[in-house]
C-alpha cells in the first residue's frame, strides 16, 4: 500500500514537474528496492516505514551539520525533503506520550538503574517502532532511570 502510494506520487510529481518531490521519492524507492534485493523478498509496510524513518533521520542529521557549518541554503533543502518524508510516516508521538510509555515499560520490566536500559528499550521499541525517534526514547529512558 505505502509503496504503491509512493509510486503514484512519483508519477504525479513527474506530471507536475516537481523536481524536489520526485528526487526524494525516487531515492526512497531506490533504497526500498535495494533492501528487497538484500533480503530477497518484498518489504512489508513496517520495513518500508523503517526505510523512510532512516531517510528522515539522515535528513535531521544533515540539518544539524549544515546549521553548524552555517549553510542555511542546504538546511532549507534538507528541511523540505524531511517534510516530504514525514508525510509517509505514521504520526509521531509527543514527548509526553513517550514519557508515559517509558514509565509503563520501566514498571513492567522492573528496571531500577541505568544498566537496565536495554530491558526497557526491548519492551518499548516494538510498540513504538515508526512512531518515535529511537534516540529520543533512549534519552528519556536514561533520564527516568537515574
For residue 146 the three cell numbers come to: 537515574
**Dihedral angle sign, alpha carbons of residues 33, 38, 41, 47:** negative
| Domain closes at, from 45, 68, 86 | 86
Question: How crowded is residue 84: how many other Cβ atoms within 10 Å of its Cβ?
Answer: 22
Which of 86, 105, 135 represents a domain boundary (last residue)? Answer: 86
Give the tens place of pLDDT for each residue, 53-82. Answer: 889 989 999 999 999 999 999 999 999 999
Residue 146 to residue 143: CA distance in whole angstroms: 6
Q: Using pLDDT thresholds of 50, 70 and 90, give the confidence band for residue 1.
A: confident
User: Do 68 and 129 belong together in one domain?
Assistant: no
Nearest Cα neighbor of 4 from 27, 35, 29 is 29
pLDDT-based confidence at residue 83 (cuts at 50, 70, 90):
very high
Cβ pair 137, 126 in contact under 8 A: no
pTM of the shown model: 0.74
Of 66, 86, 106, the residue that ends a domain is 86
Amino acid at each position: 500500500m505505502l509503496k504503491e502510494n509512493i509510486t503514484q506520487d512519483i508519477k504525479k510529481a513527474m506530471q507536475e514537474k516537481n523536481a524536489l518531490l520526485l528526487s526524494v521519492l525516487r531515492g526512497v524507492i531506490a533504497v526500498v528496492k535495494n533492501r528487497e534485493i538484500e533480503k530477497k523478498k518484498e518489504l512489508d509496510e513496517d520495513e518500508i516505514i523503517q526505510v523512510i524513518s532512516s531517510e528522515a533521520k539522515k535528513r535531521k542529521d544533515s540539518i544539524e551539520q549544515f546549521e553548524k557549518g552555517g549553510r542555511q541554503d542546504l538546511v532549507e533543502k534538507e528541511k523540505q525533503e524531511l517534510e516530504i518524508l514525514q508525510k509517509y510516516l505514521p504520526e509521531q508521538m509527543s514527548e509526553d506520550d513517550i514519557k508515559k510509555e517509558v514509565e509503563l515499560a520501566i514498571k513492567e520490566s522492573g528496571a531500577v538503574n541505568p544498566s537496565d536500559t536495554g530491558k526497557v528499550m526491548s519492551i518499548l521499541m516494538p510498540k513504538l517502532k515508526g512512531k518515535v525517534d529511537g534516540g529520543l526514547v533512549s534519552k528519556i529512558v536514561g533520564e527516568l532511570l537515574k
